[in-house]
Structure 1
Amino acid sequence: MAVTVETLDKLERKITLELSLEQITLEVQNRLKRMQRQVKLDGFRPGKVPLSVVSKRYGGSVHYEVMNDQLGKAFQSAAQEAQLRIAGTPTINEKEGAAEGALAFEAVFEVYPEVKIGDLSAAAIEKLSATVDDAAIERTLDILRKQRRTFAARGADELAQDGDQVRIDFEGKIDGEPFEGGKAEGFQFVLGEGQMLKEFEEAVRGMRVGDSKTFPLNFPADYHGKDVAGKQADFLVTLQQLEAAQLPEVNDELAQALGVAGGSVEALRADIRKNLEREVKFRLQMRNKTAVMDALLSQSELDVPKSSVASEVERLVEGARANLKERGIQGADQAPIPPELFQAQAERRVRLGLVVAELVNANRLQATPEQVDAHIQELASSYESPADVVRWYQSDRQRLAEVEALVLENNVTEFVLARAQVSEKPIAFDELMGQG
């Protein structure tokens, strides 16, 4: 019998399902008989419980299971016969008017949309490019040197300046009253690195050992300490110790300490360049991929299944709760996170997923095993033991799937860029790396 599919909305459909009462009753009895051979009840030997007792104890739950199974099979059979691609879980309710000896149900559900991708040659995409220059290498060298710096005491008359390590005593008061966390002795930090609020660093800068100073400090409105956020405090600070930073020289000894193969300054700079170029490549891929996906969406027409968006919203909310839990927030599992915060993000993800899937299937852009292996090798090459990293990826199916997804997105990006109207735009290294 042909399945009748009723269109309720753009993607919403309805079909009627019928189940035979005789078949339901027969399946319930068969399951109860199988249970009878295994069930254990007080007062009866195993396998000797009367069927009537088993039916009374378990009949309701077995009937429920059978109904769910039969409805599931009937729905899947009807969907296949009507050649429907189901999105989400159907809502199934019993309806009146069933034939004699049968039960009738209505299944309401959504189907996946038809995805129309327009002419990609009409898409305009700005493709970013960047290079690693000598200045970037020198700045990276400076960072590596800072990571291995030592400190030595300054002279008695020398003034505190950025880069110095200071040890201070301080006490703060609000309206003349001390507050929690506003006092410390022997507190140490490096001046000019943003470890303290701006007014605090400005007050310490230029002090000598033994100097004391009183200064006002305005706590930001969004300060993590809610009791003092948005308030003004008066601080008394005394500089107890002042040390200047001593950076290691850029020489073969530094290269060897960093474990660079070859142990020379030239090899160190070459290693830095290689690592920076790899990072630049990945960041450019990410930025250009976003531009491509935006262009792809602008050239596509489709309706978005509400059920898929709802599932994605739920997944994003759970991800947000998991993030709060990782940060040690109490009650994170039950945190009241409004779903509407993720509505736009969820809809974009679902829309983009459908468009990308259509493009991939139509043009055979799936990630190949060779591409996945090459990507893993590239990721692993920046680590001290690449072989261990490769094994780490290959030992877990989820990690491999994540790499496959990245490669697939790269394939889509290259496919679209090869057909779109692309304009090159150089971007400064610092801007790309977020150092501008």
Structure 2
Amino acid sequence: MDITLDKNDDQLSAILTVHLTEADYAATVDNKLKDYSKRAQIKGFRPGKVPVGLVRKMYGKSILVEEINGLLGKAVDNYIKENNVRILGEPLPVASDIDFDTQKDFDFKFELGLLPDFELPADQTLNVERHQIGVDEATLQETYDQISRQYGESTNPEASEASDYLYGKLKKADEEGEGRTVLLPINKVKNNVDKFIGVKANDSVTFDLKDAFDGDASAIANFSGLSKDEAANASGEYVLNVEKINRTTKPELDQELFDKVFGKDIITSREEFDEKVRTTVQENYDRESDGLLNRQIVDQMVNNTTIEVPKEFFKKWLVRANKGKLTEEQVEEHYDDYERELKWSMIRNKVVEEQGLKVSNDEIVERTMQKILGQFNMEMTPELQESIRSFADNYLKQENGKNYVDEYEAILAEKVLENLRGKVVVTDKPISAEDFRNQAASQR
């Protein structure tokens, strides 16, 4: 057996050629034929007495192909590992004319995509902004309104009032069809709000959408289902065909509500409830801010790291690796996104390798336990620990270990971003919750 690697001029792809001679496979094929002749059951012959020549005639070609395929797989894998060839995806077989009936020696070729060496940007040369989000009273009031809608008593009154919601179908006045289902909050209407007061089921309200919400594209998008761009360009009269009025009576701020929102006896007073709401809202915004910061770090690293990708190979590999799911046309259409994901994957792997980042089994189990507690809004106690641990272990074994791998990858990704965060310049930028929401909506 002889294996050669010939790099193309671009140094990003190569052809791996495996040359097999009869000596590489003949002995193994003969042994398999003999073994098969002992086990074969062919009419006219006693078990174990089938002539090897007959078995060769009937099954020799399939056994030969099977043996050669096995040899090729091991040979290619070993060559790549032993020679530390860094490849993209997997080797792609190059089509060729092979005659297993007459040939004794064979040449098999494989196309490889080669991953290049690259350098990460120097430490402290990239700049990102972290939003410091201030939670104002208006944002807190929205949170209390959400709590009221979720835990309050819902009714469908005959006529609408200023704090109600109108449920129905919205469409442009000159459009055909029913329109899209919406839930319009009357208290968000800025102009001509009287049109929405006293409305009953089966009524139709005709109004200027943009004027009603004072041109606030975010408010329009939030209830209408329109994209931010569509909402910004919405103009003219719209019709809302009302199907029902939704009204929610605010719940009492008592222990029953405290327990429903945060768990049994975790909060025991109105003061504690207000503080917990504020803290929870702030923590949620902080997580969103961290998520945005991480996305900025990824973007900065990808945009400022020079990586040459074997494009043509990558395109072919994407189609073959996703056979039946991705076409050549789809790959071409979204190629920039695929290449960006590949570059980030290479950057991430380089950080893991250079920094020696690892994830322990204890970290995976602990993370899973905390997720379970969060889902049930519980806090860890000594009494719960054993049962939650058992639940976590069982979850991680499900899906043939996929859940375990997913948790591993998630923790590793967090460690990579945490490491990179220390290598970029992070500037804090104060911003109100409302401005942050509007900015996030504009980037969707």
- TM-score of the superposed pair, with normalisation by structure 2: 0.69
Matches within 5 A, 1:32-51: 32-51=33-52
Looking at structure 1, the residues matched to 291 and 135 of structure 2 have their Cα atoms a distance apart, in angstroms, of 17
2:300 to 290, 295, 301: 295
2:429 to 421, 425, 428: 425
Query: Are residue 29 (structure 1) and residue 21 (structure 2) matched?
Result: no
Which residue number corresponds to residue 342 of structure 1?
334
Matches within 5 A, 1:34-433: 34-87=35-88, 88-92=90-94, 102-132=105-135, 135-151=138-154, 160-164=160-164, 191-192=184-185, 205-207=196-198, 244-258=247-261, 260-262=263-265, 264=268, 265-306=270-311, 307-308=313-314, 310-312=316-318, 338-369=330-361, 371-384=363-376, 387=388, 390-391=392-393, 393-396=395-398, 397-430=401-434, 432=436
In structure 1, give the amino acid aligned to 2:55: V
- Contact 2:4/2:18 (8 A) holds in 1: no
Tell me which moved more, 423-432 or 354-363: 423-432
Number of aligned residues: 391
Looking at structure 2, the residues matched to 142 and 49 of structure 1 have their Cα atoms a distance apart, in angstroms, of 84
More helix by share: 2
- Contact 2:164/2:186 (8 A) holds in 1: no
Structure 1 residues 306-338: Cα deviation after superposition (integer angstroms, max 9, x where no partner) = 4455545777897xx7xxxxxxxxxxxx99982
Q: Secondary structure at the match of 2:375?
A: coil
Structure 1 residues 37-85: Cα deviation after superposition (integer angstroms, max 9, x where no partner) = 3334455554443333332332222121122122233333443454322
Looking at structure 1, the residues matched to 97 and 290 of structure 2 have their Cα atoms a distance apart, in angstroms, of 54
Change in CA separation of 1:354 and 1:151 when aligned onto 2, cut-off 3 Å: closer
- Contact 1:317/1:337 (8 A) holds in 2: no
Mind listing any 5+ residue stretches in structure 2 that lack a counterpart? 210-224, 227-235, 379-387
Mind listing any 5+ residue stretches in structure 1 that lack a counterpart? 183-187, 224-231, 322-333
Looking at structure 1, the residues matched to 240 and 144 of structure 2 have their Cα atoms a distance apart, in angstroms, of 38
- Contact 2:14/2:111 (8 A) holds in 1: yes
- Contact 1:261/1:267 (8 A) holds in 2: no
Superposed displacement of residue 252, structure 1 = 2.6
Change in CA separation of 1:29 and 1:359 when aligned onto 2, cut-off 3 Å: same
- Contact 2:2/2:20 (8 A) holds in 1: no
Superposed displacement of residue 143, structure 1 = 0.6
Identity %: 18
In structure 2, give the amino acid aligned to 1:114: D
- TM-score of the superposed pair, with normalisation by structure 1: 0.70
Superposed displacement of residue 151, structure 1 = 4.9
Tell me which moved more, 282-291 or 381-390: 381-390
More strand by share: 1
Which residue number corresponds to residue 18 of structure 1?
19
- Contact 2:91/2:111 (8 A) holds in 1: no
- Contact 2:148/2:250 (8 A) holds in 1: yes
Superposed displacement of residue 351, structure 1 = 0.9
Looking at structure 2, the residues matched to 38 and 413 of structure 1 have their Cα atoms a distance apart, in angstroms, of 58
In structure 1, give the amino acid aligned to 2:287: F
Superposed displacement of residue 379, structure 1 = 3.3
User: How large is the RMSD of aligned CA atoms in angstroms?
Assistant: 4.7
Looking at structure 1, the residues matched to 20 and 299 of structure 2 have their Cα atoms a distance apart, in angstroms, of 47
Which residue number corresponds to residue 326 of structure 1?
none
Superposed displacement of residue 5, structure 1 = 3.3
Structure 1 residues 354-406: Cα deviation after superposition (integer angstroms, max 9, x where no partner) = 11111211112333445445544543443226538745653343223223323
Superposed displacement of residue 217, structure 1 = 11
Q: Secondary structure at the match of 1:300?
A: coil
